[in-house]
Amino acid sequence: MQKLLLGIDRISTVVGQAASWLIVGLTLMISYEVFSRYALGTPHAWVFDASNMLYGALFMLGGAYTLAKRGHVRGDILYGFLAPRAQATIDLVLYLVFFFPGVIALAWAGIDFFEVSLAQNEHSSIAADGPPIYPFKAVIPIAGALLLLQGVAEVARCVMCVSTGHWPRREDDVEEVDVDKLKQMVGQDAAHGVAPAAVPKVEERAQ
């Protein structure tokens, strides 16, 4: 089971990291448009819609990756002080009551949006040479499916944690640095006249 969960994490990670390259394309496109508009005097109306679609695709395709890394915003003032079993119970209820209904609705509606857009060969109406919209709408059900897959993995982890009392291991990736602990370590090193060495990884507070 653990290998399967880590495999799902890996899928979400690969897709999220691949989608991050859209930032490069978005940056280059906006930079070119600024140069073209103000230096050459030839603005392009289609850039507005194209940039929105690139950003939207980046946002949606990064959802499963963020969920896999427990990076979504959450109110953890009290949650962080609970035992892992209590945390898993709360997460399990929230996934079943809120997460799955919303994401299933997103994926289901996205399929219809894409099919209608493709059938109409929908293009942006902001300009005569507006970019096609149906490739962007195809991202909606894909992102929804990836979120559902990662959500299943998270529910499995909740069940395992409720059973064993501790969170199962996750795939290693970029980890958030606890700023308070970092300052404390640097302050302690300075007080002892020791140059700070490489900062060790800080374990996730919820695990």
Residues of the chain with pLDDT under 50: 197-207
Q: How far apart are CA 16 and CA 169, in angstroms?
A: 20
Q: What is the pLDDT of residue 175?
A: 52
Q: What is the pLDDT of residue 201?
A: 47
pLDDT attached to residue 187: 67
Distance CA 142, CA 155 (A): 20
Ramachandran sector of residue 17 (left: φ over 0; alpha: ψ -120 to 50; beta: rest): alpha
pLDDT in tens, 149-168: 999 999 999 999 999 988 88
Write down the domain spans for the chain.
1-176
- Alpha-carbon distance of 48 to 51, in angstroms, equals 5
In 3D space, the residue among 120, 176, 111, 122 whose CA is nearest the CA of residue 148 turns out to be 111
pLDDT for 131: 85
Angle at 205 between CA 201 and CA 207, to 5 degrees: 95
pLDDT of residue 191: 57
Buried b (16+ CB within 10 A) or exposed e, 28-54: eeeeebeeeeeeeeeeeebbebbeebb
| pLDDT digit string, tens, across residues 100-110 | 999 999 999 99
Angle, helices 84-94 vs 134-164, to 10°: value is 140
Give the Cβ contact number of residue 77 at 10 Å: 7
Position 46 scores a pLDDT of 85
Report the C-alpha gap between 102 and 97 in whole angstroms.
9
